[in-house]
Structure 1
Amino acid sequence: MATNAWMDVQIVQKRLEADDIVSLLLRAVDGARLPLFEAGAHIDLEIAPDLIRQYSLCNRPDDDRTYEIAVLREPASRGGSAAIHDRLQVGQTVRISAPRNHFPLDHAATHSLLFAGGIGITPILCMAERLHGAGASYEMHYCARSAAKMAYRDAIAASPIAARSVLHLDDGPAGQQIDLARILADPAAGAHVYVCGPAGFINAVLECARAQGWAEEQLHREFFAAPTDRPAPEGADESFTVTLASTGLSVEIPAGRTIVDILGEQGVFIPTSCSEGICGTCVVHVLEGVPDHRDYLLSDEEHARGDRLTTCCSRSKTPRLVLDL
């Protein structure tokens, strides 16, 4: 089960990075060093009691004194982004988790293609800084609707990564708009693709890459929200049994209910946050049975392995699952 080692940090800077995007710079309250993190990592931020959201770290991963996140104000905010924009202020103390990473770089890659759409720049920017610092081969393509909506544009221009970064604006001239087929042509062995942003952007990059012959193990993506057009499950949901390995407790998970909800009613509480199969907070290990994966977090390889599942949304293909709880 995912666990959180909560830390108190202070907001030492809040800055408008672009239209509807603010960044927060966080520092340990006691001035201590923060846990090191790898590019692609994120933290849980407790915005208010019972309001926890995940945000990618976008500062240099060798910085152990501060964490930086950037937050887009979502029109349909469930409270998280609106609270950060409207209520959190410099000087306030908030709680965060230690970093964890579901979107890591493959450091053995011969070349890395980085694609960011909108607020998806946050983990991608950190990746570019990490690859540049390591002297690795990479290029970054950053797409936004307009210059006013492009966070960190000036910071990128002033950074050494600018030489390997291409910025694409939807409202810009045709010649600077992104040409995925050209960029993804002729996939090289050992090269990897990383993409983060809105679901439509991610799917466009991945579909083009697959059409150009990229293998699945070369493709890496991170969703910030579940796609609105997620495919419907095959057939009607059926009930199944979940057994806890530690106690032998067995409960039935009926159609229309989640593992998290039913176990919670039995006093077994699994930490959750997104409830959409994106953040990884509720992931548990599977000891027996075959999961019916409904998440956007685990890779195709991890789905095939079947040894973990997101308990907030996934179900079972077999009558019984035994969980490592």
Structure 2
Amino acid sequence: MNAPTNEREALTHLELVLRQVRMEAAGINSYEFVDPEGNELPAFTPGAHIDVHIAPGVIRQYSLCNSPEERHRYVVAVLRDESGRGGSRGMHETLRVPNRVRVSVPRNNFRLSDDASKIILLAGGIGVTPLKSMVHQLEAESKNYELHYCAKGPEFAAFQSELEGMAKTGKVHCHFDGGDPAKGLNIAQLLQTPQVGTHVYYCGPGGFMEACKQATAHWPADAVHCEHFKAPIQKVPAESSGTDEGYIVELAASGRKLTVLPDQNLAEVLQQAGAPVETSCASGLCGTCKVRHLSGQIDHQDFILDENERQSFMTPCVSRGCGGTLVLDL
């Protein structure tokens, strides 16, 4: 028996109280959310994020940056981006203590490896947020790690003193370039030689992500992990990269078949048909819409699924079928 809609939403979303807003660095505020009754929150793992419903129709994903051992609060940090889509400005301008805010339960597309003998963390600016949560976990487990935190200057580095004070079993290195990347961390040199058992995690703005990608191109693919805040501009949009033909999508539970035209978005077609597919980022970055596929060829355009996951799952907000019939576990 399926749960009623409002019950299903209660399982995936929470209404929390914004208990504290704190300035962490120039242009960066942290936001602490707690249960209004003081109850424990659903557990999360390092690298997880939540969807924050900032305003009607404005939903953004933010990484949890506090310790996973803390069950009483979720903490995110947000850089105000004047050139963005308005989500960060909404967080900075409209959210106030003690607003009640709808958030999703945590999801994780950026998990720490259990079998790594050493972890190298590379943070560019606000990209430190998911890595800070990882540092909490690595310290708790006395794991071997090093964090390289790159920013324009110390005034732009959120949590710098906290991270440096936490480092007991690992090392925290801050690199300030004054706005000139050439004067900052030499990422290529740092990652020149892959080491057996060492895993690399990186997160930050576009240029930083590209530098890390190039520096790890010769590393084993399963030892390199990243999380994008924005879809890389070099990624070819799904609408122009797949087949010019439409295709059929079949919903396995009912056998219902839907036609998806070349210029249509699969997630939108599914939602219009009443299928239980929720979207958030619409960029293939958050995993909200991830569904299992049972058969058919897929043009994957996401930035979160690895090759193993793509054998069973897809993100219909950006990915699509390659002609023929695509069968989904819906």
Flag whether TM exceeds 0.5 (same fold).
Answer: yes
Given the superposition, is the C-alpha separation of residues 161 and 318 from structure 1 closer, same or farther in structure 2, using an over 3 Å criterion?
farther
Q: CA offset at residue 176 of structure 1?
A: 7.0
Aligned match of 1:277: 284
| Structure-1 separation of matches of 2:255 and 2:179 | 60
2:220 corresponds to which letter in structure 1? Answer: A
Q: 2:298 aligns with which of 276, 291, 301?
A: 291
Q: 1:313 aligns with which of 290, 304, 318?
A: 318
Answer yes or no: is the 8 Å Cα contact 2:147–2:171 preserved in 1: yes
**Secondary structure of the corresponding residue to residue 113 of structure 1:** strand
Q: CA-to-partner distance for each residue in 1:221-280, whole Å, 9 max, x for gaps?
A: 111111123236546543111110011111111112111111222233521111111011
| Structure-1 separation of matches of 2:168 and 2:264 | 47
- 1:37-76 → structure 2 map (5 Å cutoff): 37-76=44-83
In structure 1, list runs of 5 or more residues that go unmatched. Answer: none
Aligned match of 1:225: 230
Q: CA-to-partner distance for each residue in 1:12-37, whole Å, 9 max, x for gaps?
A: 11011122211101111100111221
**Secondary structure of the corresponding residue to residue 264 of structure 1:** helix
Aligned match of 2:5: none
Instruction: List 4+ stretches of structure 1 deviating above 6 A.
Output: 172-176
Answer yes or no: is the 8 Å Cα contact 2:145–2:170 preserved in 1: no
| Structure-1 separation of matches of 2:126 and 2:254 | 43
Aligned match of 1:255: 262
1:62 corresponds to which letter in structure 2? Answer: E
| Structure-2 separation of matches of 1:317 and 1:69 | 38
| Structure-2 separation of matches of 1:117 and 1:181 | 15
1:53 corresponds to which letter in structure 2? Answer: R
In structure 2, list runs of 5 or more residues that go unmatched. Answer: 1-7
Q: 1:322 aligns with which of 315, 319, 327?
A: 327
Aligned match of 1:147: 154
Given the superposition, is the C-alpha separation of residues 276 and 120 from structure 1 closer, same or farther in structure 2, using an over 3 Å criterion?
same
Q: 1:22 aligns with which of 7, 20, 29?
A: 29
Q: CA-to-partner distance for each residue in 1:66-111, whole Å, 9 max, x for gaps?
A: 1110011222333321111001011111122221111000121011
Q: CA offset at residue 116 of structure 1?
A: 0.8
- 1:90-105 → structure 2 map (5 Å cutoff): 90-105=97-112
Answer yes or no: is the 8 Å Cα contact 1:243–1:249 preserved in 2: yes
Tell me if 1:32 matches 2:39: yes
**Secondary structure of the corresponding residue to residue 202 of structure 1:** helix
TM-score by length of 2: 0.91
Number of aligned positions between the proteins: 321
| Structure-2 separation of matches of 1:320 and 1:146 | 53
| Structure-2 separation of matches of 1:220 and 1:175 | 24
Aligned residues: CA RMSD: 2.3
Identity %: 38
Tell me if 1:9 matches 2:9: no
Given the superposition, is the C-alpha separation of residues 264 and 132 from structure 1 closer, same or farther in structure 2, using an over 3 Å criterion?
same
